Structure 1
Amino acid sequence: MRFESVDDTLTARAFAPAHITGFFQIHDHKDPMKKGSTGCGVVLDGGVYTTVTAGKEIDKTEIFLNDEKVAGDTNRTVIEFMTEVPVKVESISDIPIGCGFGASGAGALGTAYALNHALSLEYTPIQLNDIAHIAEIKNGSGLGDVIGQVHGGIPIRKTPGAPSIAQIEHIPTVENEVCCVVLGELSTSSVLGNSEMAKNINMAGEKAMKKLIEKPTIDNFMHCSREFAINCGLARGKVREVIEAADEAGVVASQAMLGNAVFSIPSTTCVSELVDVFSEFGEVLRFRIRTGSVKII
């Protein structure tokens, strides 16, 4: 269903969780439904809250992030796919932007779900998930975050593509704590557009996947992620320093893909030691694993 006009003011709000990728492989395809990544990541209880408003007082689509007007290309693609009605999209993020936390995927999902609810468009959750994935692919803002975000927990993406066709398994988990330290921003497109880096990523990602499948545990996931970050050459400078400092404290940490940030899922007995290590490099962000998915608030 596609509305062309709205007389009354309609609004809805949705939450979509963050997703940190530990390791991945790039799978290119001309069909955005089949393009994406395989790999493994962890979904967090932090994320993006998105409010969509439509009505006579809104004559053009505008997108805001943390109270600042932005281009919002990925969100705009979602909107254009779903309706011709101009809307106001307001996203508030409690996760870092451009640092490997899947903020663009969370924003796209939140926009899709809130827009669908506000305008009673009658898209199914499966369709909304695919729309968000396609928007990410078309704008080069992500490859596999949406798939992880709609499943929750620690999903292993065994095949690429949109959520409706990707094959997923999970590492069994409770809502363990996840600690992170952000060192700066890193452009996803700048990494994915480097052919030599993409080759290294795919070689390291294939190796990491094989090792994880043999032993799908949180501990092994962290070890595979650490090896991946170092072997493909992404972990450099401060990121490498943080990882090595965690090693000395007896905790396995790795880089958030693709971002200039480091994360770890420590055992309960190691949390305080890890926080001490991370705090030497910046503010420590503490989340819990979210076993749920997107929700209308």
Structure 2
Amino acid sequence: MKKRSRTIYVPAGLSSIFQVCYEGNRDLELEGARGGGFRLKLGTYTYAELSKVDEVFINGFKEEGRTSLKVIELFKKKFQIEESIRLFHKIEVPIGCGFGTSGSGALGAVFAIADLFDIRASYCELANIAHKAEILSLTGLGTVAGLSSFKGSCGLIIEAGGPCICKTQMLKVDRDDVLVSIVISNIDKATVLQSEEKKKLVNALAEDLMKDIDDAYSLLDRASVFAIKAGFADAYLQKLMDFMLKIGFKGVAQNMIGKAVHGLVDKNHLERVVKELSRNLNYKIVVSELQEKNPLLDYYSNV
């Protein structure tokens, strides 16, 4: 047995719009979300090693890491593993701000543990462990499915479900575009996912608005309307999105779910736009190229 796994890279998955598709009375592989967003080059790097207790380290510090701990629990139960596991995540984007870090971390954890114990399960079987862990931990519904199933750097989940079950649609985005996000603070997703009243409003809006999405720019346009009408975007975020459009963004929306906004900028205008943001704002600015390929497929083909 290896002392530690190889390091698994999983891109961040930034969500722009979502519809909750959770009934609670069926197999978790059938549960999930519809919605759309972007796959970023910035992401999560994960490796696993044997330990005296199950534990998770994030960016060098021991953390609760409940989604990753749930991955360990589900993986050990499924493959009858008795050893304890320590996971290390290096996360390049803000946590809890709509960048899908729980989902990317869960996927990284699954494939790192599989590598550590030389488990030869199918790609779909492994990815679905991460999907189930995300749902059971109340940290997301469709991020794992999107990251493991999307083709291209921008897309929609048009039929909910876990990896290899959900149906996706690739959305066109200009090759010269870069994603820029302004991050203010995080939002607790559990309060949104557990509120039936909020879920009904969110689902009705998403159902209507997603009908008009056919590329990355209509995604951002419809998603900004979604954020405002669903009550996620307060007055300040709305002003911030207006400002971003004025200085050259091709489209903007709120991160789902975080007190943060994102948009696409032509790389030829990136330096000017970032300088303008830095001059007017005192928040973290995240800049990332988009990631077209799913690196997990490359990794898995080499197992």
Q: CA deviation at 1:120?
A: 0.5
Q: CA deviation at 1:196?
A: 2.5
Report the Cα distance in structure 1 between the residues aligned to 2:176 and 2:42, rounded to whole angstroms: 12
Q: CA deviation at 1:198?
A: 1.6
Report the Cα distance in structure 2 between the residues aligned to 1:124 and 1:138, rounded to whole angstroms: 22
Q: Equivalent pairs: percent with the same residue? A: 25
Q: CA deviation at 1:266?
A: 2.2
Q: CA deviation at 1:9?
A: 2.1
The alignment of Structure 1 onto Structure 2 pairs a total of residues equal to 285
1:162: which partner in 2?
162
Aligned to 2:231, what secondary structure does the other structure show?
coil
Q: CA deviation at 1:272?
A: 4.3
Report the Cα distance in structure 2 between the residues aligned to 1:45 and 1:238, rounded to whole angstroms: 28
Q: CA deviation at 1:119?
A: 0.8
Q: CA deviation at 1:153?
A: 1.2
Give, as a single letter, the amino acid of the residue that structure 1 aligns with 2:204.
Answer: M
Aligned to 2:241, what secondary structure does the other structure show?
helix
Q: Is the 8 A contact 1:246 1:277 kept in 2?
A: no
Q: Is the 8 A contact 2:154 2:170 kept in 1?
A: yes
Q: Is the 8 A contact 1:180 1:278 kept in 2?
A: no
The C-alpha deviation readout for 1:165-195, integer Å capped at 9, x for no partner, is: 1011101343731001101111111222233
**Match runs of 1:159-198 below 5 Å:** 159-173=159-173, 174=175, 176-198=177-199
**Match runs of 1:85-234 below 5 Å:** 85-150=83-148, 151=150, 152-173=152-173, 174=175, 176-212=177-213, 216-234=214-232
Report the Cα distance in structure 1 between the residues aligned to 2:267 and 2:6, rounded to whole angstroms: 38
Computed over aligned residues only, the root mean square deviation of the Cα atoms, in angstroms, reads: 1.9
Q: CA deviation at 1:273?
A: 5.1
Q: CA deviation at 1:276?
A: 4.1
The reply on whether 1:59 has 2:52 as its aligned counterpart is yes
Aligned to 2:236, what secondary structure does the other structure show?
helix
1:24: which partner in 2?
18
Q: Is the 8 A contact 1:99 1:259 kept in 2?
A: yes
Aligned to 2:121, what secondary structure does the other structure show?
coil
Report the Cα distance in structure 2 between the residues aligned to 1:175 and 1:26, rounded to whole angstroms: 32
TM-score scaled by length of structure 1: 0.90
Distance 1:200 1:277, change over 3 A: farther
Q: Is the 8 A contact 1:36 1:143 kept in 2?
A: yes
1:3: which partner in 2?
none
TM-score scaled by length of structure 2: 0.88
**Match runs of 1:234-273 below 5 Å:** 234-249=232-247, 251=249, 252-268=251-267, 270-272=269-271
Q: Is the 8 A contact 1:20 1:41 kept in 2?
A: yes
Report the Cα distance in structure 1 between the residues aligned to 2:216 and 2:114, rounded to whole angstroms: 35
Q: CA deviation at 1:48?
A: 0.8
Report the Cα distance in structure 1 between the residues aligned to 2:215 and 2:30, rounded to whole angstroms: 28
Q: CA deviation at 1:51?
A: 1.0
Report the Cα distance in structure 1 between the residues aligned to 2:226 and 2:153, rounded to whole angstroms: 21
Report the Cα distance in structure 1 between the residues aligned to 2:295 and 2:147, rounded to whole angstroms: 7
Q: CA deviation at 1:208?
A: 1.7
Give, as a single letter, the amino acid of the residue that structure 1 aligns with 2:41.
Answer: D
Report the Cα distance in structure 2 between the residues aligned to 1:105 and 1:19, rounded to whole angstroms: 8
Report the Cα distance in structure 1 between the residues aligned to 2:176 and 2:167, rounded to whole angstroms: 23
Report the Cα distance in structure 1 between the residues aligned to 2:4 and 2:47, rounded to whole angstroms: 11
Report the Cα distance in structure 1 between the residues aligned to 2:207 and 2:270, rounded to whole angstroms: 30
